[in-house]
C-alpha cells in the first residue's frame, strides 16, 4: 500500500465521517425546525401523512403494498396511517380491481389542498433560511440532496 493510497483512504474516511455528522444534524435540526415553526400551515399534516400525500399526488392512486414498498415502510404501518388519514378525510380507499382483498388509496381534494398548503409553507421557510445563498448554491444543494435521496432509495429497495 502506498502512502498516497493511505492518505486518500484516510481523507475519504474523514469526509464520510463529516457527511455522517452533517446528515445526523440535518435530520435533528430539520425536525426541531418543523416542531418549532409557529405557523399553523406547518402543522396541518404530520410527517407521514405529508409524505404519503406527496407521493399520491405525483404517482396517482396506489394499493397499500405498493405505497409501503415505495416509501420503505412496513405494510401494517402504512395501513394504520392510511386509516387515520381516511378518518381525517385526506384519502379514500376503494377495492383494488387487481386484488379483491386489497384497497387502492387515493388523495382527496381536501388532502391535496392541505398537502399543498404545507408544501408552500415549507418552501417559504427554506426560502427564508437560504435567502443569503446564491441561486447557484441553492441549485447545487437541491441536486446533491436529490442524488443522496436517490442513493438512499436504491439501497432501501435492495433490502
The pLDDT of residue 5 is above 70 = no
The per-residue pLDDT for 37 is: 72
- Is 1.10.10.10 the CATH classification of the domain at 44-158? yes
Q: Is 84 exposed, middle or buried (0-12, 13-18, 19+ CB in 10 A)?
A: middle
- Residue burial 38-74, b: 16+ Cβ < 10 Å; e: rest: eeebbebbeebbbebbbbbeeeebbbbebbbebbebe
Band the pLDDT of 90: cuts 50, 70, 90.
very high
51 vs 102, residue with greater confidence: 51
pTM: 0.79
The per-residue pLDDT for 43 is: 65
Amino acid at each position: 500500500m502506498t502512502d498516497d493510497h493511505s492518505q486518500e483512504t484516510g481523507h475519504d474516511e474523514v469526509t464520510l465521517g463529516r457527511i455522517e455528522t452533517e446528515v445526523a444534524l440535518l435530520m435533528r435540526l430539520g425536525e426541531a425546525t418543523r416542531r418549532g415553526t409557529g405557523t399553523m400551515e406547518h402543522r396541518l399534516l404530520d410527517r407521514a401523512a405529508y409524505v404519503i400525500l406527496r407521493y399520491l399526488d405525483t404517482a396517482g392512486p396506489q394499493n397499500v403494498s405498493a405505497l409501503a414498498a415505495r416509501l420503505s415502510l412496513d405494510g401494517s404501518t402504512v395501513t394504520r396511517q392510511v386509516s387515520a388519514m381516511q378518518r381525517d378525510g385526506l384519502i379514500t380507499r376503494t377495492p383494488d380491481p387487481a386484488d379483491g382483498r386489497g384497497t387502492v388509496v387515493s388523495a382527496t381534494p381536501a388532502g391535496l389542498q392541505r398537502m399543498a398548503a404545507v408544501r408552500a409553507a415549507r418552501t417559504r421557510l427554506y426560502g427564508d433560511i437560504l435567502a443569503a445563498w446564491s441561486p447557484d448554491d441553492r441549485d447545487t444543494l437541491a441536486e446533491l440532496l436529490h442524488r443522496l435521496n436517490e442513493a438512499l432509495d436504491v439501497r432501501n429497495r435492495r433490502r
